[in-house]
């Protein structure tokens, strides 16, 4: 007989939680190196060329379709919270392109012989609650029997073709604004180790279930040149994506980074995910750190974020307006963290 729902710990079934279970950047690049790219239609405005957050396909002069998919294994034990986090994370990619979600499809993989039906229902209900919050339906999906719980969405949205926000259009001198605090991966590691306090769980849940809705309005600003969301590759990894695509360097001031308070405490005690080190091995040669720079700080900039914040490159004179858009939606931690610079496509932290 299956265990009661309240005794189930979803994270016990997963080898890595949330966006921390992403394939490491270097390995992913190797895997995709031989992938053929042929016969791309002229209507495909954004594909895989810059590792952007979603594909964008022009429908007409006024509309382009934003299409993405995201799913992962549990980052928390509560089924309903897992569904909420996974859905929020998937929808974030639409907002990161400047789009507005219109509907979603569910991706469900569950170990049917290990989880009670009630727990699976709660996962799906959590995802549906997020979509209901922004007034879109989950219009279908696909489910399979798996060894680990998996949940996510195919998210579809619309954006004006002239207002798509890519990750490879930053300009030298642009300011960098981060919408959410870092540290989700560290808190998830503390949770899996049985160390996380209720206050830390509350911080993690608040961050990971906050929809990146400002992205749709930031798309209206011509002074916003590039945008992405910070997820499994950490702040450094996703910022390096902007650098490579834009053929620019970037500078980040560590003390300016917004951090989840309890994550900072656990980071200082050495708590981190395995994905943090995998990220560093993938792109550490592209990051210049000051001396001395404690390892716990390094792990914060490579910490995999699940449902992380929008990272915006904008003209310096637009910073106040960009942060005001975040504040309007309750993103109290939004902050300017650095700038784009001409030169080699590397990241300097100081």
Show which residues are catalytic. 19
Enumerate the β-bridge partners of residue 349: 252
Judge whether 50 and 242 are in contact, CB under 8 Å: no
Q: Please, what's the b/e burial string for 164-177 (b: 16 or more CB within 10 A of its CB; e: otherwise)?
A: bbbbbbbeeebbbb
Torsion of CA 167, 91, 207, 226, to 10 degrees: 10
Tell me the two tokens of residue 144: 């399979």
**Sign of the alpha-carbon dihedral angle for 273, 277, 283, 285:** positive
Quick check: 166 and 244 in contact, CB under 8 A? Answer: no
Distances, alpha carbon 297 to alpha carbons 54, 190, 197, 253, 319, in Å:
30, 17, 21, 12, 26
Positive or negative, the Cα torsion across 72, 73, 77, 83? positive
The span from the first CA to the last CA of the chain, in angstroms, equals: 56
Name residue 100's beta-bridge partners: 158
């Amino acid at each position: 007989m299956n265990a009661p729902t309240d005794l189930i710990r979803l994270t016990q079934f997963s080898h890595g939680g949330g966006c921390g279970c992403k394939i490491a950047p270097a390995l992913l690049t190797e895997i995709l190196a031989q992938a053929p790219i042929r016969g791309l239609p002229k209507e495909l405005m954004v594909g895989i060329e810059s590792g952007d957050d979603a594909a964008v396909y022009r429908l007409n002069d006024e509309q382009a379709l934003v299409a993405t998919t995201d799913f992962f294994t549990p980052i928390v034990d509560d089924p309903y919270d897992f569904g909420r986090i996974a859905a929020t994370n998937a929808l974030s990619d639409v907002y990161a392109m400047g789009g507005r979600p219109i509907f979603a499809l569910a991706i469900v993989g569950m170990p049917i012989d290990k989880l009670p039906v009630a727990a699976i229902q709660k996962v799906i209900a959590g995802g549906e609650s997020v979509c209901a919050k922004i007034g879109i339906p989950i219009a279908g999906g696909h489910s399979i029997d798996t060894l680990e719980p998996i949940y996510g969405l195919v998210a579809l949205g619309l954006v004006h073709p002239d207002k798509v926000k890519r990750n490879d259009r930053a300009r030298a001198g642009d300011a960098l604004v981060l919408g959410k605090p870092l540290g989700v991966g560290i808190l998830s590691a503390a949770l899996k180790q049985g160390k996380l306090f209720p206050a830390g769980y509350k911080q993690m849940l608040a961050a990971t279930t906050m929809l990146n809705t400002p992205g749709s309005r930031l798309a209206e600003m011509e002074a916003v040149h590039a945008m992405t969301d910070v997820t499994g590759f950490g702040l450094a990894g996703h910022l390096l994506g902007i650098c490579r695509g834009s053929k620019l360097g970037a500078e980040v001031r560590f003390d300016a980074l917004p951090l989840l308070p309890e994550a900072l405490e656990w980071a200082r005690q050495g708590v981190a995910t395995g994905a943090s080190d995998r990220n560093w091995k993938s792109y550490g040669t592209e990051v210049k750190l000051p001396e001395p720079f404690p390892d716990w700080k390094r792990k914060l900039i490579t910490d995999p974020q699940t449902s992380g914040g929008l990272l915006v490159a904008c003209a310096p004179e637009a910073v106040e307006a960009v942060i005001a858009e975040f504040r309007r939606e309750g993103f109290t931690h939004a902050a300017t963290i650095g700038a784009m610079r001409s030169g080699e496509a590397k990241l300097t932290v100081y």
